[in-house]
Chains A and B, each alone.
Chain A
Amino acid sequence: MAESNLIGQDIVSRDLVAKITGRAKYAEDYRAEGMLFTKLLLSPLPHARVVSIDLSAALAHPGVIAILTADEVPQDEFPFEPCLTNEPRYEGEPILAVAAVDEMTAADAIELIRIEFEPLPFAIDPLDSLRPGGPNATLMGNAYLGREVGEVKWEQSVFDAAGPDGMPMGPTEDEWEFGEGGVEAGFAKADVIVEEVIYSHSATHHPLESRTAMSYWQNGKLYIHCSVQSVAQSRRAIADRLGMPFEDVVFVSEFCGGGFGSKIRGSVTEIIPSLLSKKAGGRPVMMRVTRNEETAFGRARPGMQGWVKMGFRRDGRMTAMDLYLVQDTGSYARQGDTSTAADCASLIYTPETMRFRTVTVLTNTPPRAAQRGPGGAQGVPMLEPVVDRAARQLGMDRLEIRRVNGPTAATRFGRGNTQLTSCYAPEALSRGAEMFNWSERSARSGQRNGSKVTGVGLAFSTYYGGTSGWDGLLVIRPDGKLYIHQGVGNLGTHAVMDTARAAADVLGSDWEDCEVVWGSSSLHLPHSSTSSGSQTTHAHTRANHAVGMAMYGLLQELASLELGGSPSSYAVGNGRVYRIGSPGSGLTFAQAAQRAITRGGKFSGAVLPDDINEMTRNSATALAGQGLIAAAKDTYPHTARTYSFVATFAEVEVDVETGMHRVVEVTTVADCGTVVHPRSLAAQANAGVIQGMGFARSHKWSIDPTWGVHLTKRLEAAKPPTILDGPTQYHFAAVDLPDPQNPVGAKGIGEPPVGAGSGALLCAIEDALGGLYGSHTPMSPDKVLSIYENEGRVASGRLAIHV
């Protein structure tokens, strides 16, 4: 087999020219003959029931073609989220949709609709909802009890005991504990115990491209152009939402203008144009989603209100962690962020004992979804400043306390006593400390220059780094090229191109002789993972390696049948299958493709392996006869859990007169296995850190508690990070040691930098403030000032949500 050639190289993504010349087509860039436009009628109230709707004037309005109401769209029992509703549960939830010849006509028609609402009680703050007699976000109740929604109210005494700035901790719905004797025994062994109220805010994802979609029907098939993170799995999800077989959906999403978890399998609203188009006799319908609408139904990260208590021995070892989190899951689906935060904590600190309690509360605020590093990105910045406080009390270096508690390859962690496929966390911490010059810099902490105080911090973050068991699909066509079909999304991580290298390397192919096929189901794509949760790099280097091996075997077998000799006497490389020792012999890929077509059977795709997914089978069958076709499922062993690790170090300068802070220096080191694409990896890591820092300092989310309306709808108000919010240079390195359970050694990297970035920033700010209080986001200048001037007090309240 050929040596790895492409893995580890900087190769510019094939699609970059299209992106920088304006030729790349995102969802809103498609046009279709006779295209109509949609406007939505959104709920002005955070919770209401539609009493009556009079559409007559709107329907009579010239240019209006169709109106779609909640009665005509799939509805199921709560927590199913319909695309249109008659019981809106948050301000901005879509109620009905108008299709007209143009947008202004559709908007005019919306103004002509007479609609009457009955306002219902609404809940904005989970803790308010848990009070005796507090409001419920839904008619069924206010909290999740398993998969069901029910009512959870705590006794007044719980709130009285907590006091104004304390965390009320009533009975929770979910609880686990591990370690001998439980946390009680763990705390008994501790020399130092720290406890803290911790808080992480909600935040809209705000991909720059909103979730626009355009659809039409032709000959019984639905054509949909939309913006999603994953192609194969979104096609399936949209077909499911419409109750139709996925084979009847032609799904196009070649470029996705950002998702960050908000577009994993597409959106509930994406089917609105499909349903309207059906009503309009198949005419194309474009639904452009505005920034305000994106804030309303474009998803957000769940907020958390909580408390943590940690116990440490004198040597820094964590003997116990007791973590309590209330999750704000918004108005629909239950998110798993608090549980993931606990899992990540159990891995980065490997506490000897740990207890975790959580309750997931519904509020009349936008629906939540996974956002880059879901759980980890909230847990790390809440917990890392508390660990720093313990280190200060122990008189211990803050890097050292993380080394003492951090995982190694031999670690078994958490409630499942989970084993890792690989772990080079100690190497990441050491490398980062060296690059950042931790020992020298940390000596500067607290140094004052006028009103500016230097703070130094580090945070250590982790996330699940990849799934397995997906399919790969390759075609060698008579043009001699290797076509690598990818059903993952093209969301900017370059994974759609980069994971294809695994197949090319197995076959010793020149990258110039390879074509990556992606972005449209009409091109016949395999069953691929979602592009989310840092899984793609791991999952699809595996799947592409597996299918590369299958193709290798087919080429050997084909050469043996055509030219004689045993299959094992042939090798593959440089665009041909040749007799070992004689690289110029055998068949070129072009000849092999031709022979495969003639021979048929397993060579041409007419006969396929049994274990591949139905979607891959359909695609391979559609391609059958066009060349030499290999389809395979990744069946490589995956006997432990794959995690990646990131350490970020930051220096900040905090102006204690204004509360403003400036990030001076940032260094990040990742353990994500073998590096596939160095430049792209550095960009992913640095940008994840910047997103995390933006989340921790400026990216706001504010909802008016009196009226339940969103106040941070525009980017100008939400303040995601800009190019001026950090230093001009970020330092990054990868440990670059292989994971033994991935054939190319790679692990995912998308998620963990976010928590590392936000954690490092909060730790550095806390450090500049002399260790006062850092477990709070967003750490805006007013909060910094309040903490500094009032010895840790946050003027708006440590647990005040949506402010």
Chain B
Amino acid sequence: METLDLRSQAERSFTRRTFIKGVIAAGAVVSSSAYLFRTNGSSASAQAPGSVERLITLRVNGQERRVDVLKQETLATTLRYKLGLTGTKIGCDRGDCGACTVLVGGVPTYACSLLTHQVRGREVTTIEGLANGDQLHPVQQAVYDEGGFQCAFCAPGFIMSMVGFLQQNPSPTIDEMASGISGNICRCADYPKILKSAMRAAENMRTV
């Protein structure tokens, strides 16, 4: 597939180590406290050395978005707090749960574990970018038809994983499907229904 260029391949082997390296390279301090971010420079301390903000252009859901981004800012934070795309959820902020999964260059990626600066020039797709107006994406339609998810806090992340996985493997067996979306946790444990939705999604995708 064209979107799977070398950078995407690198993306798939993305680890927590490379994330931390990225943070260090960006000159920021890795804090032990999770969930930290600075808003749009309204803080007086924003002038502190090393916290210079940069205006960058992101390609999100097919649109070019100009956004003020800190060096250490994660994509999940930028999406949620700078671009108003709150469909991307933060469940653990440490790459454990997958609630923040988005597609970067078509590949499912934990947005909590990626610096926004790393996605400059890449196509980012969030849950908000799937449906076409009122028309649901075939994967969303499958989930809808199966009545998928309970509390659904994990749903956006799971759905992005399904979309990304099905692009790589359009005809998975049920075991492959489970494996393909196993980077996401559903604490309600609605796994049988999620898996059923995912298999229906595969069918929907093949018939589009």
Cβ-defined contact, A716 with B94, below 8 A? yes
A29-55 contact mask (Cβ, 8 Å, vs B): 1 or 0:
101000001010000000000000000
Q: Is B6 an interface residue (CB 8 A)?
A: no
Which residues from 125 to 157 on chain B have a C-beta closer than 8 Å to any C-beta of chain A?
126-128, 130-131, 136, 140, 143-156
A249-283 contact mask (Cβ, 8 Å, vs B): 1 or 0:
00000011110100000000000000000000000
| A24 and B152 contact, Cβ closer than 8 Å, known pairs A63-B45, A206-B187, A723-B182 | yes
Partner of A107 from the list B31, B97, B128, B152 (CB cut-off 8 Å) is B31
Q: Is A639 an interface residue (CB 8 A)?
A: no
Distance to closest chain A CB from B40 (angstroms): 9
Report the stretch among B7-15, B18-26, B188-196 that lies at the interface: B188-196
| A679 and B37 contact, Cβ closer than 8 Å, known pairs A19-B155, A206-B187 | no
Partner of A683 from the list B85, B94, B190 (CB cut-off 8 Å) is B190
Q: Is B118 an interface residue (CB 8 A)?
A: no
Cβ-defined contact, A108 with B89, below 8 A? no
| A21 and B136 contact, Cβ closer than 8 Å, known pairs A687-B191, A724-B182 | yes
Q: How large is the interface on A (under 10, 10 to 19, 20 to 34, 35 or more residues)?
A: 35 or more
Closest to B195 in A: A728
Which residues from 75 to 112 on chain B have a C-beta closer than 8 Å to any C-beta of chain A?
80, 84-94, 96-97, 99
Closest to A25 in B: B86
Distance to closest chain A CB from B163 (angstroms): 12
Cβ-defined contact, B192 with A686, below 8 A? yes
Cβ-defined contact, B85 with A22, below 8 A? yes
On chain A, the residues within 8 Å of B182 by CB distance are 722-724
User: A345 vs B31: C-alpha distance in the bound complex, in angstroms?
Assistant: 48
Cβ-defined contact, B130 with A21, below 8 A? yes
| A258 and B187 contact, Cβ closer than 8 Å, known pairs A105-B45, A291-B96 | yes
Cβ-defined contact, B155 with A716, below 8 A? no
Distance to closest chain B CB from A175 (angstroms): 36
User: A256 vs B126: C-alpha distance in the bound complex, in angstroms?
Assistant: 21
Partner of A209 from the list B96, B128, B151, B184 (CB cut-off 8 Å) is B151
Most buried by A among B45, B86, B130, B192: B192
Partner of B153 from the list A62, A209, A679 (CB cut-off 8 Å) is A209
Distance to closest chain B CB from A540 (angstroms): 18
On chain A, the residues within 8 Å of B99 by CB distance are 208
On chain A, the residues within 8 Å of B178 by CB distance are 723-724, 728
Partner of B38 from the list A19, A29, A104, A257 (CB cut-off 8 Å) is A104
Q: Is B166 an interface residue (CB 8 A)?
A: no
Cβ-defined contact, A22 with B87, below 8 A? yes
| A491 and B86 contact, Cβ closer than 8 Å, known pairs A21-B136, A104-B38 | no
Closest to B145 in A: A12
Q: Is B181 an interface residue (CB 8 A)?
A: yes
A188-229 contact mask (Cβ, 8 Å, vs B): 1 or 0:
000000000000000000111110000000000000000000
On chain A, the residues within 8 Å of B84 by CB distance are 31
Partner of A16 from the list B33, B147, B156 (CB cut-off 8 Å) is B147
Cβ-defined contact, B189 with A21, below 8 A? no
Q: Is B159 an interface residue (CB 8 A)?
A: yes
Which residues from 658 to 708 on chain A have a C-beta closer than 8 Å to any C-beta of chain B?
679-680, 682-684, 686-688, 690-691, 694
Describe A's contact surface by its main secondary structure.
Answer: loop
Q: Is B42 an interface residue (CB 8 A)?
A: yes
User: A240 vs B149: C-alpha distance in the bound complex, in angstroms?
Assistant: 33
Cβ-defined contact, A62 with B43, below 8 A? yes
Closest to B39 in A: A102
Distance to closest chain A CB from B53 (angstroms): 12
Q: Is B175 an interface residue (CB 8 A)?
A: yes
Distance to closest chain A CB from B143 (angstroms): 5
Q: Is B36 an interface residue (CB 8 A)?
A: yes
On chain B, the residues within 8 Å of A21 by CB distance are 87, 127-128, 130-131, 136, 140
User: A103 vs B94: C-alpha distance in the bound complex, in angstroms?
Assistant: 17
Cβ-defined contact, B147 with A26, below 8 A? no
Q: Is A492 an interface residue (CB 8 A)?
A: yes
Distance to closest chain A CB from B70 (angstroms): 9
Closest to A727 in B: B192
Partner of A20 from the list B90, B159, B174, B188 (CB cut-off 8 Å) is B159
Q: Is A300 an interface residue (CB 8 A)?
A: no
Closest to B157 in A: A208
User: A682 vs B150: C-alpha distance in the bound complex, in angstroms?
Assistant: 12
User: A234 vs B152: C-alpha distance in the bound complex, in angstroms?
Assistant: 21
Q: Is B169 an interface residue (CB 8 A)?
A: no
Partner of B89 from the list A257, A290, A491 (CB cut-off 8 Å) is A257
Q: Is A165 an interface residue (CB 8 A)?
A: no
Q: Is A726 an interface residue (CB 8 A)?
A: yes
Q: Is A28 an interface residue (CB 8 A)?
A: yes
Which residues from 316 to 345 on chain A have a C-beta closer than 8 Å to any C-beta of chain B?
none
Cβ-defined contact, B191 with A715, below 8 A? no
Distance to closest chain B CB from A327 (angstroms): 25
Cβ-defined contact, A728 with B175, below 8 A? yes
Q: Is A493 an interface residue (CB 8 A)?
A: yes
Cβ-defined contact, A493 with B150, below 8 A? yes
Cβ-defined contact, A20 with B186, below 8 A? no
On chain A, the residues within 8 Å of B128 by CB distance are 21-23
Distance to closest chain B CB from A174 (angstroms): 33
On chain B, the residues within 8 Å of A16 by CB distance are 143-144, 147-149, 152
| A491 and B35 contact, Cβ closer than 8 Å, known pairs A62-B45, A723-B178, A724-B178 | no
On chain B, the residues within 8 Å of A291 by CB distance are 34, 91-94, 96
Closest to B127 in A: A22
Distance to closest chain B CB from A745 (angstroms): 22
On chain B, the residues within 8 Å of A720 by CB distance are 185, 187, 189
On chain A, the residues within 8 Å of B85 by CB distance are 22
Closest to A229 in B: B151
Distance to closest chain B CB from A211 (angstroms): 12
Partner of A26 from the list B35, B89, B96, B130 (CB cut-off 8 Å) is B89
Closest to A11 in B: B147
Enumerate 9 A-B pairs (CB-CB under 8 Å) in ascending A order. Answer: A21-B128, A26-B153, A31-B84, A207-B187, A258-B188, A492-B149, A683-B192, A686-B192, A687-B193
Q: Name A residues whose Cβ lies closer than 8 Å to a Cβ of B.
A: 10, 12-13, 16-17, 19-26, 28-29, 31, 37, 39, 61-63, 100-105, 107-108, 206-210, 255-258, 260, 288, 290-292, 491-494, 679-680, 682-684, 686-688, 690-691, 694, 714-716, 720-724, 726, 728-730
8 new A-B contacts at CB < 8 Å, known A37-B39, A257-B89, A679-B147? A20-B155, A22-B85, A108-B45, A258-B153, A291-B92, A683-B150, A715-B97, A721-B191
